[in-house]
Structure 1
Amino acid sequence: MLDVRRLRLLRDLSQLGTIAAVAKIHTYTPSAVSQQLAALEREAGVALLERSGRRVVLTPAGAVLAKHAETVLSALEEAGAAVAAAGNELSGPLHIGAFPTAVRTLLPEALVTLGRDHPRLELMVTELDPADAPEALRERRLDVALIHDYDVLPTAGGQGLEESPLLEETVFLAVRAGSGFAGIHSAADAAWIAGTPGTVCHAVTLQLCHTAGFSPRIRHYADDFAAVLALVAAGQGVSLVPQLAAADPPSGVRLLPLGARRRTRIAHRSGAAGHPAVIAFTEAVRASTAGYLAH
């Protein structure tokens, strides 16, 4: 019988590429991961790993088993969802991940609804960048998450996850009122305010500027859009701001709509779509999003 925990390690190795990376996300030592994968090889009766230079790679048999491991893990999620659906009342923790603007605008009303309708559900919110959410879901640190990408820089959660669309927003170029900017092409020589490197917002700033034919001269790094808009109002540069963050800009800021769109999705592990807590969250956040946009 193949051990499910070891199958998860093999699946993660197929996605992350190194034993060190697998060890990091599971808070194991690399030696412990290697030992568990060696035990899985004994259970399978075939070689699953082989050396390639200084790295370990999956053998053809290992790649086949890693693919089936994804199916097994998804089936376990479905089984857990079915058991939860057979219960009389939702209870226990629900770990929710979301990016900062969603935490501020879309989540509060959804949390109120969930708390009212399912008082035994323990709601736990973690604010994080969308780039970090897929890994947190696969590691089971989150049960459901709001993630986003941009149409000019599409991304996908990857193996082991399912997503459904929630919202599309206009992206604005935020400039100081009274400035002569007419769009992103006119901001080639401007100072820029961007998200910290490694975030989705930073990547899309580079992408949109490169598409416009220049590399942005980034002067400030800020991930909170309220801080970004304050810096723009103070004449410290221009920045990209999505619609949710631009609902109430400070005086002294002008917003120029661009052709780009930010796209928010609801993500969870494959097989968890039928879990009643995931269903309840999805319904609540869809209702709160519709209500927020209607205001």
Structure 2
Amino acid sequence: MTSIFFRSIKFLIGAGFVFVLLLALLGSITGLINEPPKQTAEQALHKHPKELELASNGPLGKFDTGQLQRGFKVYKEVCATCHSLHMISFRNLKDLGYSDAQVKKIAKEWAIKQPVFDEKAGTWGERDNLPSDRFPKVYYAGTGNPPDLSLITKARHDGAAYVHSLLTGYGEKPDPAVAAKFPEAMKTPEGMHFNPYFANLNIAMPPPLVSDDQVKYDDGTRATIDQMAKDVSAFLVWTAEPTLQKRHQAGLAVVIFLLFATGLAYGAYLTVWRGMKH
């Protein structure tokens, strides 16, 4: 009798616990239905990145080396002052079509040098970059360091499309009807810049691309703001995954091999079982 009594008590306690949880769940669902959460200013004013067509898109995509060289020039002349590219070595630029002599020249003339510690003097010095060196880190004199761009298209949702939209989105204004609902959000703090593609709408980085022909392309391509943003986005896809094209080629070869092997296996199956009765 005692054991039956205790089992009954445990059952009632468990049932009561489940009942309380169900009541709490029902209350939460009812609350969400009756009073849905209010839309925040960031949710209302934030824009989804615009689609960006690049040669590297898709499972069969491959790099456009001409575009990558243009994108590198934009990075060098516009972005490199504040943003590092520390996961890439100068010699990796050979994959973009640069010769050994050109890579050596680019490394030597790079504005930021390699830090060197003199053990005898106990002080830091500098030396010219070598092709084997990684791009030196940038130490910004302001509050904090801007992010390294080596993996930015992997670290941000929508990758290259996000970078392109962010670079070209400084002049875009939200729908006036939507903006009128959130007047406080439209007051850009001092030292910040409104950009609807940035997560919290205000970004410390001023517009890096301010006018057409800010960079002069060697191949004669017109350097509009949109073109420069597109080219540097393509370049940053390459820095994030330099082996993307080789991976695509290897994947295609594997698929073709598997299809061929499947055909051989099916042919062998028909040959072995031909004439056999079940």
Same fold, judged at TM 0.5 (above): no
Give 1 or 2: higher strand fraction: 1
Larger Cα-atom Rg: 2
